[in-house]
Structure 1
Amino acid sequence: MKSSEMEANLFCISCNDETPHLILYINNKIESVECEDCQRGMVLNRDIMKEFYNEVYERISSKPSRITTEYKEDLSGFLYKLPIRIVSKPYRIMRDLNQSRKIIRRFKK
């Protein structure tokens, strides 16, 4: 899961003016919007675990087609990089899981 933040000038009903707002995204979907002046915000209630499961399912189900596309485009480059990718895969999976766990923990509260 990926979390990102963005600042944007939006009209705040509370401040009655265009003020900077902090917008938080989870997997490119808006999770919350908060006014930086008055600290008033809006949180979109979404099932974070469902987002996580959908992401894992999508990554697993699309893996065969991604590998096929990759080796059809450049077989020698694919075979050259394959041993390094196999060795580093457990590290990459743990890094993604830890990042997802932090995001899930933050939004479970």
Structure 2
Amino acid sequence: MEITKLDVFLYCSHCQDETLHSVQYLNHKISSTECTNCHRKLDMHLNPKRELYKEIYKRIVTKPTRLTQEYRDDLNKFLGEFPKRALSKPYRLKRYMNETRTALKKFKDGN
């Protein structure tokens, strides 16, 4: 799960002009926008736990297809990297869990 922020120029109905807005995304979905001029904020009320569930579900369901595609693309590379990937998986999973925990905390604390 990731939270990203972008600054874009959008029309602000409160300022009646095109102004710089800070747009926050949660897993590539807009979660909020805020006008940097008048600080008017619009929240999209995403459920972060639901977004996490959908992300994990998608990763689990598509894993066999992704592994098959890697296998078909280059068997030697797949077999050569497999032991390294298997050994590093616990570390990658721990890093993912820490990033997700941080993102959930930021989202809960008010972005």
TM range, smaller chain: over 0.9
Equivalent in the alignment of 2:106: 106
Task: Give the deviation of 1:108 after TM superposition.
Answer: 2.3
Number of equivalent positions:
109
* SS of the residue 1:31 aligns to: strand
Q: Where does structure 1 lack aligned partners over 5 or more consecutive residues?
A: none
Equivalent in the alignment of 2:24: 24
Q: Could you say what the CA RMSD is over the residues aligned between the two structures, in angstroms?
A: 1.0
Task: Give the deviation of 1:79 after TM superposition.
Answer: 0.6
Query: What is the distance in 2 between the residues matched to 1:71 and 1:58?
Result: 20
In structure 1, what residue type is equivalent to 2:17? D
Q: What does residue range 84-99 of structure 1 map to in structure 2 within 5 Å?
A: 84-99=84-99
In structure 2, what residue type is equivalent to 1:28? H
**TM-score for both structures, normalised by structure 2:** 0.92
**Partner deviation per Cα, 1:18-72 (whole Å, 9 max, x = no partner):** 1100001111100000011111110110111011011111111111111111011
Query: What is the distance in 2 between the residues matched to 1:95 and 1:49?
Result: 18
Task: Give the deviation of 1:103 after TM superposition.
Answer: 1.2
Task: Give the deviation of 1:98 after TM superposition.
Answer: 1.0
Equivalent in the alignment of 1:63: 63
The sequence identity of aligned pairs, in percent, is: 41
In structure 2, what residue type is equivalent to 1:64? P
Q: Where does structure 2 lack aligned partners over 5 or more consecutive residues?
A: none
Equivalent in the alignment of 2:34: 34
Query: After TM superposition, what 4+ stretches of structure 1 lie above 4 angstroms from structure 2?
Result: none
Q: What does residue range 65-84 of structure 1 map to in structure 2 within 5 Å?
A: 65-84=65-84
Equivalent in the alignment of 1:51: 51
